[in-house]
Each structure stands twice: as structure tokens, then as C-alpha cells.
Amino acid sequence: MAKANQHIAYREKLLFELSREGKRGVTLEDPLPDFPLPEDRRKDLGNLPSLSESEVVRHFIRLSHLNFAVDLGFYPLGSCTMKYNPKVNEQVVKNENFSMLHPYLPEEKVQGILEAMYLLQNALIEISGLSAVTLQPAAGAHGELTGMMIMKAFHADHNTGKDTVLIPDTAHGTNPASCRMAGFKVIPVKVGKEGYLHLEDVKKLMNDNIAGIMITNPNTLGIYEEELHKIAELLHENNALVYGDGANMNALMGYAKPGDIGIDILHFNLHKTFSTPHGGGGPGAGPVAVREDLKQYLPVPVVDEKDGKYYLSYEIPKSIGKVKAFYGHTSVILKALAYILVLGGDGLKEVSEIAVLNACYIRERLRKYYHLPFETPNMHEVVFTDKFQLENGITTMDIAKALIDRGFHPPTVYFPLVVKDALMIEPTETESKEELDNFIDAMIEIAKIARENPEELHNAPQNTIVGRLDEVRAARHPKLKFG
């Protein structure tokens, strides 16, 4: 068996356990002369641990090594697009001309950043096939909420009285949540046995209350929504809108424009598709693109250009208002622009190509060993189940934990919910064939052990500092307090 990463073998104590009376790093009694701590705050610092600076630094660096990271190894977490993010893009953001800007500087002093934002808006317009973009939303789910508020504004403006949104049962959990937050009712639609939505099933649910549909393409099974263009036509005939969840754009870029398929509102996940590391809680960015007649509802301000000068335009009379302080997460915006400019149109097309190729390669090599619930060809991710292994009592969770022992982050497990015991693998475009083969070999080895020696897998992982954790208890009874 391959050995798990050595450096995750520390047993790190708590700072409170490492603390020794009288040790000191920064002295709070002696703050920076220009920023004195208020008297009353200085008096009661509570039970803070006492350590030297080097001890604190080492403590946190050791803890940071307990993390699995995409810069450490393969991270095939389905739906999340955990791909390698080129470091050169971080260099762009660190440039003082960007990093030292203040949002209240006058426009003539910040032409550079405004131009960068303008260029990104245009790039996303081109990629989406839509007409206008807001860069403000802070993440995918925030983009969804913004988009659904725009849908709401559209129906209020046209006095349609429509208040219900259809959502396929393959959807990411944020989709129905965003709809509810924007004040819509939600009706789920079942996907067909091929793994995509059927026009007929949508037709059955259509009525005068349907304000729109919220759909992810390719969906969370990694399957292309074959009938989306027909479904969009049906919605449009009924004066309803089509919201596209664009989290999976790394399967489509350069090949299909959501606007051409009939999508009216689309969010991007810059932190998935366009090179911002994520998973630690942000910042991300979820820009929203809309078709021409929905431009009038976008949040203010958008960046515009006139006579070679860039400016923040607040001239959006029916705007839903502001959804974010200032202008969005500019560091993420800059990284996305750098990534797009470096790759160019052909490069982005190649991203989609390799993302899909890598997932297809895994599917074809593993299908003998793991049950494939859908025969429909997949795009950038592939869903298996534990059906074959379950005959020997081995579950999706056992397989995921056994992968940790072999140095891999597990795939997404038990999602999407429409597949029983799902194992959802998204290799992304940045993995080499060698790394994919290593992963495939590990999966085949696990399938073999599941057949011949299943008990071994019930105790996985064994090469990590803690073994199998009771995840339910950790969530239900978290231990949040020291002592």
C-alpha cells in the first residue's frame, strides 16, 4: 500500500497545553505607540496562553500541514472543481498598484482596476453569450440569490404574479435555498432515467405560477442537459425565465454558450472555473450574467467606459440595489482576468476538453470495478456507486476512507441525492495522466480488497493521526470549548 503523507503524522497539542507561565511573544502591555489599546481592554485579557513567537509560528505551521490541499495531492471532490491554481495569478493580485488601492479613491486615480473589471465583465459576457455582467456577488450561492432577485424584479416589473421556480432533483442544495431567500416557492422536478431532465416532465408542471426554472448544466451527475434548449423555449413561451447555475462552466467553455442554449441569467463560480483556490471559506466570487432586457435590474454599480475613461455607473433605474459592499472581491476578479488573458479563447476551450477527457478516462477505466448508475456519456465529472462492493458489506464511506490511506482526498460522497450511495469524482483539467492512473490504481486496489478481504477496509483510514471519526457526533455534539 502506498504510504500516506508523512507530515500528517504529528500529534499537535493545543496552544493552551503548550502554554508556560511568563512566556511571551508580542507584549500587549506595550502596543505599537501609534495604536494604544484602550485602557479597559488591556486590563482583562482573560485566560490567554503564554508562548514565544517561534512556538506560536511552529504550532500553526504544523497545524497547516494537517490539512490536505490541492497543492499537496489529487483532490477529486465532485462538484467543487478542486483544480490547481497557477501561482502567477497571485503575483498579479499582490502588485501594489492593485493591493494598496482604497475603494473610495476617485475614479481618475483607479483607472487600472476599473479597466481590469471592465475587461473581466466583457470576457464573461463573451463566455456566457449574454449581454451584461455584475461582478459583485461574493460566491456562487450569492450569485444565485442575486440572479433570483433579478428574476423577481422582472416578474414584479411585468406584473405577472408568478411566484414558483422549478428545480431538478439533481440540484446543488444552494439552488432551492437561494430561491426561497428571494421569496419564491420551489417545486422539484425529477430527472429522467438517463440522468437529464425531460421536456415532458417540465411540461406537466408548467402553469401560470411558474416564474422560471433553475438548472445546472452539465448537471451534478456530470451529464449534459440534452433537452435544455427545448425546456428554455417552453419557459419563454410562458413568459418565464431560465436561470443557469454556471458552477460547471469548466465543462462548456469555448464549446457552448449558455445564452445560446436559452439561459437568461447565469452565475459563474470564479473560484471554481477561473483559478482562485477555495475550500477554506473564501473569498470567492460569483458574477452574474444576464440577457439584454434584464440589464436594467442588475445591482449598482457596474463598470462602464466612455471616451477611453472607465467609471462606475449607477445609471440602472430598476436596479435591485447593492448586494455587496463596494465592487466585489477584487482579488478574485483580478485572478480570473489574469487566468483568462493567459489562456485566451483557445486555452479556455482546451480547459473544457481536458476536464471532460479526464473524467471520461476515469469512467472507462473504473467501470468494470464500480457500478455506473447512468450509461449516458458524462462531461467533467462521473458518478459511481458502491453497489458491487456492498455485496461484501463495503460502503461508499469505506471506499472514501481507504482513499485517504492512499494519499488521496476522497471524492464527494452521498451526493447528488438522486443516486443511492454516490461517489462523485471530478478530476479537473489540471491532473496529469500519471496522477489519474495513480488514483485509478488505488480505486482498483480498494475494489480488490473489498472482494477478498473486506474487514480491512472497515478500519480505514489507518495512516492518519486520527482513525475513523464519528462524523455525526462531531456535527451534533461539537466540542467548542477548551477544558
Q: How far is the CB of 218 from ligand PLP (least distance, A)?
A: 9
- Member of 221, 228, 247, 403 binding ligand PLP (CB under 6 A): 247
Q: How far is the CB of 221 from ligand PLP (least distance, A)?
A: 11
Total of chain residues touching ligand PLP, rule CB under 6 A: 13
- Member of 110, 123, 139, 379 binding ligand PLP (CB under 6 A): 139
358 near ligand PLP (CB under 6 A): no
Q: How far is the CB of 204 from ligand PLP (least distance, A)?
A: 25
Residue sitting closest to ligand PLP (CB)? 140
Q: What backbone phi and psi angles, to 5 degrees, belong to 288?
A: -120, 130
Q: How far is the CB of 181 from ligand PLP (least distance, A)?
A: 13
**Nearest alpha-carbon partner for 290 in 123, 147, 122:** 147
The DSSP string of 346-384 is: HHHHHHHHHHHHHHHHHHHHHTTTSB-S--SPPSS-EEE
Q: Which three cell numbers stand for residue 382?
A: 462521473
Q: How far is the CB of 242 from ligand PLP (least distance, A)?
A: 15
Q: How far is the CB of 28 from ligand PLP (least distance, A)?
A: 37
- Using CB under 6 A as the binding rule, the residues of this chain from 158 to 197 that contact ligand PLP are 172, 174
Q: Which three cell numbers stand for residue 379?
A: 462531461
- Where is 122: in which H helix or E strand? helix 111-128
H helix intervals, 158-198:
174-181
- Member of 141, 215, 221, 418 binding ligand PLP (CB under 6 A): 141
Q: How far is the CB of 149 from ligand PLP (least distance, A)?
A: 16
Stretch of residues binding ligand PLP (CB under 6 A), selected from 95-103, 134-142, 222-230, 398-406: 134-142
284 near ligand PLP (CB under 6 A): yes
What is the arrangement of strands in the sheet containing 185-189, beginning at the earlier edge strand? 132-134, 288-290, 265-268, 241-246, 210-216, 164-168, 185-189
- Member of 85, 269, 389, 396 binding ligand PLP (CB under 6 A): 269
d(CA 103, CA 90): 20
In whole angstroms, how far apart are CA 170 and each of 76, 222, 234, 240?
A: 19, 10, 20, 21
Three-class SS of residue 313? strand
Q: How far is the CB of 428 from ligand PLP (least distance, A)?
A: 13
Are the C-beta atoms of residues 157 and 318 closer than 8 Å to each other? yes
d(CA 265, CA 237): 17
Beta pairing class for 422-425 and 412-413:
antiparallel
Q: How far is the CB of 216 from ligand PLP (least distance, A)?
A: 5
Stretch of residues binding ligand PLP (CB under 6 A), selected from 107-115, 120-128, 136-144, 448-456: 136-144
216 near ligand PLP (CB under 6 A): yes
d(CA 280, CA 213): 31
In whole angstroms, how far apart are CA 119 and each of 9, 27, 191, 255, 352?
A: 46, 47, 38, 21, 22
Which residue lies nearer to ligand PLP by CB, 177 or 357?
177
Stretch of residues binding ligand PLP (CB under 6 A), selected from 4-12, 133-141, 228-236, 304-312: 133-141
140 near ligand PLP (CB under 6 A): yes
- Member of 225, 245, 421, 426 binding ligand PLP (CB under 6 A): 245
Which residue lies nearer to ligand PLP by CB, 8 or 186?
186
Q: How far is the CB of 284 from ligand PLP (least distance, A)?
A: 5
Which residue lies nearer to ligand PLP by CB, 245 or 264?
245
Stretch of residues binding ligand PLP (CB under 6 A), selected from 107-115, 139-147, 251-259, 305-313: 139-147
Are the C-beta atoms of residues 169 and 188 closer than 8 Å to each other? yes
Which residue lies nearer to ligand PLP by CB, 75 or 118?
75
d(CA 202, CA 200): 5
Cell 450511495 belongs to which residue? 421
- Using CB under 6 A as the binding rule, the residues of this chain from 42 to 81 that contact ligand PLP are 79
Beta bridge partners of 132: 290
**Nearest alpha-carbon partner for 131 in 265, 21, 270:** 265
- Member of 146, 220, 378, 464 binding ligand PLP (CB under 6 A): 220
Stretch of residues binding ligand PLP (CB under 6 A), selected from 137-145, 320-328, 362-370, 439-447: 137-145
Q: Can you give the binding site for ligand PLP, defined by CB under 6 A?
A: 79, 139-141, 172, 174, 216, 220, 245, 247, 269, 284, 286
